[in-house]
Chain A
């Protein structure tokens, strides 16, 4: 601390430091933007695959890589937009009153599964995920949650496999009726001793996260119902 420094020096110094720092940050952000966006895109696609029930890890437990993910997408998946108001497929989001995006899983050209994004409030945060239905549009094929800010270990357990696997095979539509899907508080067998094909066990300590899931899973299912109605077999 050599010479005494006046207030003007402090201001100039602070300005220069801030300028240099922001310059560095801006250049780092723009230089790395491309690989970052690619990663986010691949991550989104991996989550769609996971909802469809594709094994997303290889033999050694590592996640599959970008090219392989893209391969699945070109082989099996087509992305369409439907209008929630009419239930019709539209060519672009601009033509629809309520544009909704939908992923179709095709085996040899026949649609066997459907997946769509779901999101809504949990306890602390907005939860994002995908829900996949079987070709009958009545049975859940899989679910994933890929972004949330719930409490790790409690609400954060929605990311866990045991919780997500429980959804598979549950019914959302039966005998001509939409069933209210339910994440119960505690165990399904406690609340419904006779069994219940449209409810899953809750996470202990995360009842409010579960309530959030109930709200938005059902609301999102209802949004797509106009489309599903037209495509559900008899």
Chain B
């Protein structure tokens, strides 16, 4: 059991990473990674939502009528997302304004629904919570890497701190969404090279 808990938690960090291996949640990882602080807020938001929706759905899993399973899942996820959005608006207003729709769109993030359907419906609450946490953190890790690459190359700073000399012009491509595609592609390639795990056709 302890072994399983460990793999449930660590698998999504690398071997089964939701972004680089399962290729889920690409949309938000392109949109909110122009700066590290935005990526961080998104990461925290998504990790909490995934973990707690997994926990709640897992506790309800034996009662949920299968006819309205998806609707109940959506109700739980959207409640959590809206609460997160409200908290952000109250305490980090500037960032929440920049994130605009993307916090709201956690509801439709494939990772959240994916984990609910694939894991929380079959597993006890503790494990499900760990699974959600693991997947959230796996997503966060990639977001932070991509965010760092884009902010450093695009603006010469990291978390608003100037790293490169002031006269660094900034790579325009990195600020735009296609820049995130390149970063993501590089990370996926690097990871597959290192782990020697390839998809067979």
List residues of chain A with CB under 8 Å of any chain B CB.
1-2, 5, 9-10, 13-14, 17-18, 21, 24-25, 28-29, 32, 35-36, 39-40, 42-43, 60-63, 153
Contact = CB atoms under 8 A, between A and B. Distances in A.
A2 B62 contact: yes
A60 B161 CA distance: 8
A39 B71 CA distance: 34
Contacts of A29: 86
Interface in B98-114: none
A24 B97 CA distance: 23
A43 B93 contact: yes
Interface string B60-75: 0011111110011001
Contacts of A25: 79, 82-83
A10 B68 contact: yes
A153 B30 CA distance: 14
Given A17-B72, A18-B75, A153-B176, A36 B65 contact: no
Given A10-B65, A29-B86, 15 more contacts: A1-B62, A2-B62, A9-B65, A13-B65, A14-B68, A14-B71, A17-B76, A24-B83, A25-B79, A28-B82, A36-B86, A36-B93, A39-B93, A43-B93, A63-B94
Contact of B68 (A1, A13, A36, A61): A13
B6 interface: no
B87 interface: yes
B194 interface: no
A10 B62 contact: no
B67 A39 contact: no
A35 B91 contact: yes
Interface of B: 62-68, 71-72, 75-76, 78-79, 82-83, 86-87, 89-91, 93-94, 97, 160, 176
Contacts of B94: 63
A62 B94 CA distance: 10
Q: Looking at chain A's contact residues, is the secondary structure mostly helix, strand, loop, or mixed?
A: helix
Nearest to B79: A21
B88 to A, nearest CB: 10
Given A21-B75, A61-B160, A153-B176, A1 B66 contact: yes
A28 B86 contact: yes
Given A1-B62, A60-B160, A10 B79 contact: no
B67 A32 contact: no
Task: State the 9 A-B residue pairs at the shortest beta-carbon distance, nearest first.
Answer: A39-B93, A35-B90, A32-B90, A21-B79, A10-B65, A28-B83, A36-B90, A32-B86, A5-B65
Which of A2, A25, A62 has the most chain B CB atoms closer than 10 A to its own CB?
Answer: A25
Contacts of A62: 160
A32 B97 CA distance: 16
Contacts of A39: 89-90, 93
Q: Please indicate which of the listed interface residues B63, B82, B94 has the most CB atoms of chain A within 10 Å of its own CB.
A: B63
